[in-house]
Structures are given as C-alpha cells and as structure tokens.
Amino acid sequence: MWVTAHIKRRGKKMKNDLLFIGLVFVFMLTVGIATVAADCGCDKQPEKIAVNNTEDTNNVEIFDNIERAITERDAKWTADETSVSKLSVEEKKRLCGVDIGFTPNGSAELSRSKFTYTGTFDWRDVNGQNWVTSVKNQGSCGSCWIFGATAAFETQINIDANDSALDFDASEQKILSCLSGGWGCGGGDPKSALKHIRDDGIPNEACMPYHANDDIPCSEACSDWESNAWSLKTIGIPGSHTTDSYKAILENNGPMVVVLSVGEDLFYYKGGIYEPTWTSKEFGWANHCVMLVGYDDNNECWIIKNSWGTGWGEDGYGRVSYGQLEQYTYAFWIEDTSGCTPPSVIDLEITDIWHEGSKVYYKVKNIGETTLESCNIALIIDGTYKMDDTIGPLEGGEEIEESYQYKWICTGRSDEITVYADYEDAVLESDETNNSRTETWSTLKAKRVNKP
C-alpha cells in the first residue's frame, strides 16, 4: 500500500513505477538469500587464505603453491601426493557433495555440557579396543554425505552392542539408489541419509554392493534386505556448537557426523593438523562430510575419518584444528541403534595335545571372531570318555593352553587320545566339524616338553 501511495504522490509514469518496484524486489530477494546463507553456515570461506587466480594450474604448481602457503601460515600439516591429489578439478569437486538443508522432524536437541571429558579421546582406542569400522572409499561419486552418516552409524552399532568386533558393514548404495528427493552422486544432505536409516533401515553391503552410481535402481537390493537391516531411533543435534560440547558428546555418546569447508589443499593432506591454507580459483570452496572420531587437547585438534580410502591422510584419517568444524553449526550424533542379531562366528579348534608327568596338555583356539563365554573340553581315550575341563572366556583369534590332571599309561601297544572342544554341543559355531583332535600315542612316543 505504501508503494501505491508513493506513486500517486510523485505522479511518475507507470513504466518508471514498475521499474522501481522491480528494483526493490530484486534488492529484497538478494538480501534474503544472503541472510539464509549466513544462517545455515554454508560455504564459509576461511579468512586470509591464499587463492590462486590462474585458471590453468597443473599438479606440480598446485603442490608448490600449497607448500608455500603452509610455510607462510606456519601451518602444522604436510602436503604430498595422495590417492585423490591427481584428480582433475571437476573430479575433486564431485567428492565434496554436501547440500546443507533443514533439521529433520523428530531430531533430539540435547546439551551435553553436564558431562566431563578427559582431554584426549579416540574411539579407535577405548579400553584397548577399536570401535570404528574400516575406512571406505566413495569413488568418483559425490556421496560423502552418505559415507559420513554410515561411518558414524556403523560405529554406534558397535558401541550400543558393546561389541567392538561386530562391525556391521552398511550398504551405502542402498541409500544412494533408494533415497528420494533428487539426492545422488551430485551431492546431498547428511541429515537425509540419517533420516533414511531411521525410517527405512539399511541392509549390509553384501545385500547391495556399492558401485558409486546413482543410476542403479532401488530394486537391485536383495529380496530379503529388511530381514538383515539395521536402523536408529534418534538423530541428535548439539545444544550448542562449541568445542566443549562436541568433546562431551563424543566421549559420552559416540561419533558425530560433521561438515568441513575445504579448499583444494585438502586433497594433498598427508598428515599433521590440517587447517585450510590454499585453494585455486577454479576449485573455490566446497562442503565435505566426515565422521568425527575423537579429539586431542594436547595438539588442539579433532580426529576425523574420511571416505577417500587409506591412501589419503593418515591411513584414511585426519586431524583438524579446533574451530574448523564448530563454526558451521552443523553436526549430528546417533542413539539407539537396533537390528538383526548377527550369526555366531565362534569356531573352536584343538591345535595341539601332549602329555608330561601326571598331566595331559592341550591348546585350544577360537579361530572365529566372536568371544566364547565358556564351554567344556573333553578328554577321550580309545573312545572312552575320561573327564572334561571348562574354559572361557576366549576371544576371537585367542589361543590358550590348558591341562587335565590325568596320568596317561599306555594300556596296549598304543592308545588313541582325543581332545574334544564343546563336547556337549552347547555352543553355536560356524564350523562344527573341526572341534576335535586325535593322536595315536605309544610307549615309544617321546615325551613333549611343556613350553610356556
């Protein structure tokens, strides 16, 4: 209404009035877009970073520019050739495919300020165990928004199950092929990947292997994918995006899904504490999704897990200076994972038997992956049960030496000595045929020395 009154008072011609209104509209639209971009923290560019204005910069020149920038800024990281450093600019851009959107419905906003933290923490070494699943490679697809989400999800499954060896291998291709809304290799929102896991569930890698191709139809998933799918109940968001808040969530809950704004120099990161130092005009800046694994107050840095294979960074991991993640006010954590119960992968094998003095000795190994809680080991001589022993716990890959208080005396020319693991068949094993070991002993058999 004020525009109409203004026109009448001025008595300008209609075409001038329309031009004025159009200019006002364009100005307001521009201000609005800028405000939204500022609010979501998208594509923030670090200050005082060297930018190369040359369009045609070869790999050697790029490396020289990065090393010079690292020296000038006294940065604490090393540049070198990596698994992604020789990619073209367009190929590099495709690896950074985060499109930041809105918080999904049902997210839980919690403050972790009441928790304490220790000063150094890494989910790869908690109570002497590595709870993080293996480093993956997203290939030539801009699917970091999926890999950052599944990395945190897989690790949270281990934590929730209190089993660092469970290591569920999620199918990233299932999300890439089945998530509606236009996401794909061109980039997407990590929150949408988490929401898809929460609402639909996700099967293992064997059900729908990753091909870095968003043209593969959703119907390519195995027919029984729902029967081995895992899901999550809660997508959490920090109550505040501060260094202390992130530390508390990491240590008291689990890994986080975070976004890092990167220049072209990240593709040359080989080790140390990364901070942006250089980018080319052609590449500019891009958002990249990673998993937050831990922190180190001694070096004032975060520890991240990337999805560019083990040939990048510190075997696929990196360290990033404090402030690089918090400034984008974009992070998520996961609670209450659930899914199918994995089949038992306990597998017992008697690896050796011998006697000395008044004892019969044996070695038993769990060649499976799951810890054996307990089981009986029977001694059988010439087909006759003599006694049994109880062992456990026995971790996957662990071998132990035990003995029976039994003095063997040959009753004839020779005896058949059998030691049988899980004689009562109480343990579900991946292979039930290799539980026993039989040897023929005679009075001529030399005594075995029990070696510690």
List the catalytic residues.
144, 288, 306
Taking Cα atoms as reference points, which of 286, 229, 355 lies closest to residue 92?
Answer: 286
Let me know: does 145 contact 95? Beta carbons within 8 Å: no
CA-nearest of 341, 321, 325 to 333 is 325
Q: For the chain, what is the radius of gyration of the CA atoms?
A: 30
| Cβ 124 vs Cβ 294: under 8 Å | yes
Contacts with 388 (C-beta within 8 Å, 6 or more apart), sequence order:
376, 377, 378, 379, 423
Give CA–CA dist 264/50, Å, rounded: 11
Per-residue b or e along 387-418, where b marks 16 or more CB atoms closer than 10 Å to that residue's CB: ebbebeebebeeeeeebbeeebeeeeeebebb
Surface-to-core class of residue 116, CB atoms within 10 Å of its CB (0-12 exposed, 13-18 middle, 19+ buried): exposed
The structure tokens 């929102």 sit at 189
Half-sphere exposure of 45 (CA within 13 A, CB side): 14
Q: Which two tokens stand for residue 114?
A: 């009441």
Q: Which of left, alpha, beta for 165 (phi over 0: left; psi -120 to 50: alpha)?
A: alpha
393-399 long-range Cβ contacts below 8 angstroms, 24+ apart: 394/348, 394/364, 394/366, 395/366, 395/371, 396/165, 396/345, 396/346, 396/366, 396/368, 396/369, 396/370, 396/371, 397/365, 397/366, 397/367, 397/369, 398/365, 398/366, 399/351, 399/363, 399/364, 399/365, 399/366
CB atoms within 10 A of CB 171: 25
- Dihedral angle at the C-alpha atoms of 380, 384, 390, 395, nearest 10 degrees? 40
Query: Residue 275 is encoded by which pair of tokens?
Result: 């901070």
